[in-house]
Amino acid sequence: MPTPVALYRFRLSGGQSIGAIELRRLWAAACRNDNVSVSRIAEASHGEGSHIYSLLGPPRLPDCNEIEKRLRQSLMTALPKATIVLIRM
């Protein structure tokens, strides 16, 4: 099994956050693959409670555009008040 790599990173605005279990569930569903993981690190430059989230998965996921579309939709549904800045790595 290949070692997961960071595929996306994102921040949430307005003090919003999401737990690791829920984020992993959304990420696995978006890429239709259970070989995924997530991480969160504090980001001091954007104020207290701000975090950068990383989404890790297999190095070669098919159809990244569809995965990103599903991921964005899932995050917007789960966090309707947040502005999500998603970056593909």
The band of 45, judged by pLDDT with boundaries at 50, 70 and 90, is: low
**How far, in Å, are 38, 62, 80 from residue 46 at the CA level?**
20, 33, 20
The domains located in the chain, with CATH, are 5-88 (3.30.70)
The band of 16, judged by pLDDT with boundaries at 50, 70 and 90, is: confident
Token pair listed for 12? 């949430």
Token pair listed for 29? 């569903």
pTM score, two decimals? Answer: 0.87
Q: What is the pLDDT of residues 30-39, one digit of tens each?
A: 999 898 999 9
